[in-house]
Amino acid sequence: MIFGGELVKYDVVIIGGVAAGTSAGASAKRVDSSLGILLIQKEKFISYGGCGLPYYVQGIVKDIDDLIEFTPQEFREKKGVEVLPEHEVFEVDFERKIVKARSVKDGDVKEFEYEKLVVTTGASPIVLNLEGIEDERIFTIRTPEDAMRIRGFIEGKRPESVAIVGGGYIGVEMSEAFRTHGLKVFLIEMMDHLLGNAEPEINEVVVNTLERNGVKVLLKTQVRKFVPDEKIKVVTNSGDMEVDMVLISVGVKPNTEIFDNVKKGVKGAIEVDETGKTSIEDVFSAGDCATVDHFITKEKAYIPMGTTANKQGRIVGRNVAGRKERFIGVLGSSITKIFDVEFGRTGLMEEEAKRFGYNSGSVYIKSLSKAKYYPGSGPIHIKLSFDKKTGKILGAQMVGSDVHKRIDVVTSAIYGGLTVEELGYMDLAYAPPFSPVWDPVLISGNVARRYLKLDNR
C-alpha cells in the first residue's frame, strides 16, 4: 500500500462484499499474498448467507449471526483483506483510478486509488411504483437487516395475515416461513405460473402443494395500489384483500447506476467477458450486478444467483492477481424447498430453447423417488427438454421428493453434452432407500428416446 496525504492507494479495490466481493478478495490474496486489497461495503454485514434469510424469518435459523460468514474483523484477520464497512461508493473516476466513498453514518468522504477495480455491488429488490408503497408494514427481503425487521415485526406485532407480491423463489420460500408463524398467506403473481417459468405440469404440483399447506395462490393477478389503514388493503385486478403486512418480492435489479461509463447489457447489468473484464481497462465485475455467459446459448444473460456470484468472484479474484482463468458459463440451475416437496430446474425448456433457434422437444414423466415398497417413497415429476435434431439434453424441471440429487444429474449431463439416449442408460447408483431400480432420470431419458423414435433404428 502507498500512502500519499489523505489518498491511500491499493493494488485492488473491491466495491461490494457478500458473495462475489469476498470471494474475489480472498482468491486474489491466495494467488498473490503481497497484494494490498480493500473491500468497501455499504452494509455492516460484509459476508453472509443471503439464501438463508427466509429460514431465519421462519425460525429454522435461530440467530442472525449463524448466517454471518465473516465479520469485517474476521475477514481482515483470516483473509488479509482490508475492509471498510458501512461506506457507500458514490463516484468512480476511471481515468484517474480513484474511488470515492461516503460513510453511511456521518457522511465523511474517503478517497482511494486503485491499480485494478472489482465491481461487485450486487442487486437490490425491485420496488413497485404504487400508491401506498411507503407504509412501514410493507417489506422487502434482501439483507440480514431486512430479515431481522420482518421477524421482529412478526414477533412484536403478531400479524395474522400477509400478502406476498411476486411468486418467484423468495415469494414461495417466504410463504412457508409465514405459514410456520401461523399467518394467513396470499401469494399474488401476475403471470399464470410461479417460480419464473415453471412448466404447466410442474406448476400445477407447486400450486397444489402451496394451497394444501394453507397458502392462497392468486395467479394472473396484478396489484394496483395499497391503501394503508388499521390494516393494509391490497387492491388488485381480481378483487381486494385486507392484510396486516405485505412482502414485495418481484425480482431484483443490478446496482449499476453510478457506473455510467461502463458498457451494460441485459437488464442494465455490467457486461463482462468470461474472465470478468468489463469494457474499461483494469475494471472487472462479478455477481448480481454483472452479466454471465449462458453455457448452452453462449449469449450474455442476467441470472443473479449466489452460486454464480461465488464462482465469478473467485475467477475475477484470481485474474486481478495475474491469472488468466475463464468461467465456463451457467445453466441457471436452481432448487428450492416448498413445504414437503422440492423444485429444481436447469438449462432451457422447450419454448425457451425455440426462441434461441433450437428445434426442441420435451417429455413429461411421473415416477417415484425410491423403491415403491420403501418408506418415504414419494412422487417425482420430471419435464425433460432436448434438441430433436441431435438428441442432446437442453434442460429439465422437476418437482417432488428427492429432486436435489436428480437435477444435478441432468445438469452434469448437459455440461457433458450427453444425449437422451446416453442419459437413459447412465450407470446411476441404486439401492431401494434412494431410488427405484429405474431411476426417474433414466426413465425420462428413455421416454425421450421413444419420442425421438430412436428405438426404431
* 176-229 pLDDT, tens digit each: 999 999 999 999 999 999 999 999 999 999 999 999 999 999 999 999 999 999
Give, in order, the Cα–Cα distances in Å from 104 to each of 20, 40, 48, 109, 181. 22, 12, 20, 10, 34
Cell numbers found for residue 184: 394467513
Give, in order, the Cα–Cα distances in Å from 285 to each of 14, 39, 142, 316. 9, 13, 20, 7
In whole angstroms, give the CA distance from residue 445 to residue 73. 51
Q: Which is catalytic among the residues 31, 32, 51, 266?
A: 51
For the sheet with 223-228, list strands across it.
Answer: 223-228, 232-236, 239-243
* 51 is a catalytic site residue: yes
**pLDDT, position 456:** 64
| pTM for this prediction | 0.95
In whole angstroms, give the CA distance from residue 45 to residue 314. 20
Q: What are phi and psi of 267, to 5 degrees?
A: 55, 25
Three-state DSSP at 49 gives coil
In whole angstroms, give the CA distance from residue 167 to residue 349. 19
Q: Cβ(391)–Cβ(454) under 8 Å?
A: yes
* Under-50 pLDDT residues of the chain: 1-5
Note the Cα 98 to chain centre separation in Å.
31
**pLDDT, position 455:** 64
Sequence-ordered alpha helix ranges (H) in 293-390? 306-320, 350-355
pLDDT 10s digits, 7-26 = 899 999 999 999 999 999 99
**pLDDT, position 2:** 39
Q: Cβ(245)–Cβ(162) under 8 Å?
A: yes
- Grid look-up 424469518 returns 57
Instruction: Please provide the average confidence, as pLDDT, over all residues in the chain.
Output: 97
In whole angstroms, give the CA distance from residue 181 to residue 349. 36
**pLDDT, position 7:** 83
In whole angstroms, give the CA distance from residue 243 to residue 339. 23
Show the domains of the chain with their CATH numbers. 2-43+85-123+253-320 (3.50.50.60), 127-250 (3.50.50.60), 334-456 (3.50.50.60)
Q: What are phi and psi of 239, to 5 degrees?
A: 120, 165
**pLDDT, position 457:** 58
Residues 417-451 as b/e (b if ≥16 CB within 10 A, e otherwise) read ebbbbbbbeeeeeeeeeebbeebbbbbbbbbbbee
Cell numbers found for residue 329: 458459463
What is residue 59's DSSP assignment? T
Torsion on CA atoms 396, 401, 404, 407, rounded to nearest 10 = -20
